[in-house]
Chain A
Amino acid sequence: MSWFKRVKENILTKTEEKNNTPDGLWTKCPNCKKALNSRELKKNAYVCMHCEHHLRIGSEEYFELLFDDNQFREIGENIISGDPLSFVDTKKYPDRLIETVSKTGLTDALRSAVGEINGMPLVISCMDFRFIGGSMGSVVGERIAVAIDEAIRIKAPFMIISKSGGARMMEGALSLMQMAKISAKLTRLAAAKLPYISLLTDPTTGGVTASFAMLGDFNIAEPNSLIGFAGPRVIKETIGRDLPEGFQRSEFVLEHGFLDYIVDRKELKDKLASSFRMLLTPEAAAPAVKE
């Protein structure tokens, strides 16, 4: 059986399970360790009510937070991974993919969707860290590429929500080339004078930082997110001493001049909508093509 058929079966099972999940669960804040009621947490944009810690969330939650009435049309969702290198480490790459699909119910580490934010059309590509550490492979690249094409087609602004450990090793140089691919595609968006906002969330490192995450008209971040090119462990090994407090956190990155602003997730939607509205040039802000 081809691996994607098995993937499909796994997803369908997963989706059924998810629909049966009861409400009223409790989550422990990873920062202050206090118990948080899931429903209240969701209402608070998944920000801890006690310590303001921004819990890690994925595309499902971001889409719901940002798109008006949680209405959106997903694009590129039928694009799935190949196994170009027939990569085997301790596992075969397709087996790793299937395992991850069954565990997460996701088909790769990024989803793209088009919807409206405070009544304005917007295309969002959002990474999912749960899928092999939010690693960037060919599917991530292609799903961003189709999202950029769609933004240009409907003359909508574009945003990427990054949350990634970097490139996906199992796709070798092809994963590296996704950095080139998305950066090249972004030149097209720029030529169309459509705004692109990059939201960096915890964590954003490696090839994602060294490409599209740092290429926004605005680069913005959630508070206290780890943002860097090299991971802290690698840097520590390289320089042979401890890293300063707050190193590579959003506030540090902003102080060094690489972020436009830091935004509390509870205010994200409104601040994004304002940013896009002010950025849009009159010609680009022409009425969007209706589906």
Chain B
Amino acid sequence: MLSNNIFDFERPIFELENRLNEMRAIAEDSGVEMETATSELEKKIHDLRINIYKNLSRWQRVQISRHPERPYSLDYIAAITDEFIELFGDRNFGDDKAMIGGIGRIGNQSMMFIGQQKGRTTKLRQFRNFGMPNPEGYRKALRLMKIAEKFGMPIVALIDTPGAYPGLEAEERGQGEAIARNLLEMARMNTQIICIVIGEGASGGALGIGIGDRVHMMENTWYSVISPESCSSILWRSWENKEQAAEALKLTAEDNLKLGIIDGIIEEPLGGAHKDPAIAYQNVKEKILADIEELSQISLPDLIDARVEKFSAMGSTRLMEEEWEEEPLTLVNKP
């Protein structure tokens, strides 16, 4: 079936698929044997798919990460848990629909889920504030994480946000403080934390639930300090350089793995998670269970130490050469 949500770079595939469908229809109607022709075309489509989807540019990955049919946090949770109870509210201000959470079970393992939530229809997109949480969203996530800590169950954070909401009330209620608090509390949270970027990982809004013992990205997602569009508007003073900005930011899963920012990449079905969500769900579920198994072997003090060390090691700096140290520059003022 032809979808309305086709990217330009996918068009050649859909054109061939269209032709294949026509061919099949003709074969059925006329009874003419077209087996050779159709199987040839099928192979051609298969090769083209691999060729296109395995050579995506960074900007194309960003586009796939935002595909409107892509599974969202609640889709994953519904698919992978045997039981799930959604929990609401931050106990102070309200319930943020852009940040969902709840307690779930896979087999005998209970776990706490938190995650940003996008909506699929125009109405739902607004209801979910386009996946952009307010401060109460981060505080709700922290409240749920504290429950997980108390009852010794792992936390699974699903990251999918174009950023924390930059609104007036968000500032009044302390957007910065809410995110900052989560960074600190997650760094010392006394239980296992697994974070998975399932769509967009934009800046502090993503990081606000992103401090984990294991941080993974799905194959067609992005995670960076800023969106390519905003980066373009700031550095190039134009919205037109988003493709260039995406390249410069090195924001794909592969890039982030190389930079030491994430621990692994979760494979998606060819063309993106929305092409065959069942495969995406299965891969995510397996990764969560494997991580829990692995992390639960580590004592909690060691786990937290390792978590702090992991994030402390992030960055790219170097020391000035030896000769630098011998020559005093600006420093150590003597009266």
Contact = CB atoms under 8 A, between A and B. Distances in A.
B308 A78 contact: no
A96 to B, nearest CB: 10
B125 to A, nearest CB: 15
Interface string A219-252: 0000000011110001100110001000110000
A169 B187 CA distance: 24
A139 to B, nearest CB: 5
B137 to A, nearest CB: 13
A290 interface: no
A80 B321 CA distance: 10
A77 B181 CA distance: 29
Contacts of B211: 180, 183-184
Contacts of B318: 4, 79-82
B13 to A, nearest CB: 31
Contact of B320 (A4, A167, A215): A4
B298 to A, nearest CB: 17
Given A87-B248, A177-B261, A210 B223 contact: no
B259 A229 contact: no
A247 B171 contact: yes
A239 B249 contact: no
B325 to A, nearest CB: 6
B204 A207 contact: yes
A55 B67 CA distance: 47
For chain B, the bracket of interface size reads 35 or more
Most buried by B among A63, A84, A187, A212: A187
B284 interface: no
Contacts of B139: none
A43 B249 CA distance: 44
Contacts of B317: 79-82, 138-139, 142
A11 interface: yes
A187 B187 contact: yes
Nearest to A80: B320
A261 B250 CA distance: 41
A205 to B, nearest CB: 8
Contact of B224 (A137, A145, A173, A180): A173
Contacts of A84: 259, 316
Most buried by B among A74, A181, A186, A212: A181
Nearest to A81: B317
A80 B316 CA distance: 9
A187 B310 CA distance: 14
B184 A89 contact: no
Nearest to B235: A89
Interface in B164-209: 164-168, 170-177, 179-181, 183-184, 187-188, 203-204, 207-208
Interface residues of A, number: 82
A85 B249 contact: yes
A186 B184 contact: yes
Contact of A179 (B172, B207, B259): B207
A169 B225 contact: yes
Given A167-B225, A209-B180, A178 B167 contact: no
27 contacts: A4-B320, A60-B330, A72-B332, A73-B332, A74-B331, A77-B331, A78-B324, A81-B316, A81-B317, A89-B236, A89-B244, A90-B236, A105-B330, A141-B315, A167-B226, A169-B231, A169-B234, A172-B248, A172-B249, A173-B261, A177-B311, A211-B179, A228-B171, A230-B175, A256-B173, A257-B174, A258-B176
Interface of A: 4-5, 8, 11-12, 15, 60, 63-64, 69-74, 77-85, 87-90, 105-107, 137-139, 141-142, 145, 167-169, 171-181, 183-188, 190-191, 206-207, 209-215, 227-230, 234-235, 238-239, 243, 247-248, 256-258
Interface of B: 164-168, 170-177, 179-181, 183-184, 187-188, 203-204, 207-208, 210-211, 223-226, 231, 234-236, 244-245, 248-251, 255-256, 259, 261, 307-308, 311-312, 314-321, 324-325, 327, 329-335
Q: Which 6 A-B pairs have the closest CB atoms?
A: A230-B166, A138-B315, A209-B176, A84-B316, A183-B183, A229-B176
